[in-house]
Amino acid sequence: MKKGTLLNSRISAVISEMGHTDTIVIADAGLPIPAGVERIDLAVHAGLPDFVSVLKTVLSELKVEEATIAFEIAEKNPSVYQAIQELTKDVKINIVCHEEFKSITKRAKAVVRTGECTPYANIILHSGVVF
């Protein structure tokens, strides 16, 4: 059995296959997932698993150089916005409108769909390098 925080085999595989600047999206239950982008669906029911728990776990495994969020989250979902700021305090954060955010997801290696049912709880993680 894998020793570590992240137990989901598909997320672990996607992270291991990522190169510098490749992206993975952690999404709420409502974010549209573009055709051709792998969907890793963790949603069980509303709120399970929650966005912050999944983000925290992915961050424990992935070297993140920068992240992208939609500016709408600051006003519409301040608690998740605050959690993102705390979890990514050493990471450059790009802030775009939600429509642009959705467009950027087309280039992601995968979208991890959580059960989060609060607005704009989405983040694009851009892979860094460990050397």
Point out the residues that are catalytic. 20
Chain position carrying tokens 């087309």: 106
CB of 116 closer than 8 Å to CB of 84: no
Question: In whole angstroms, what is the distance from residue 129 CA to residue 18 CA?
Answer: 10
Determine the Cα angle at 10 with ends 54 and 82, to 5°: 15
Q: Say which amino acid occupies 29.
A: A
Binding site for substrate: residue ranges? 28, 98, 120-122
Q: Give, to the nearest 10 degrees, the angle between helix 78-87 and helix 51-59.
A: 10
Q: Identify which of 109, 114, 108 has the alpha carbon closest to the alpha carbon of residue 83.
A: 114
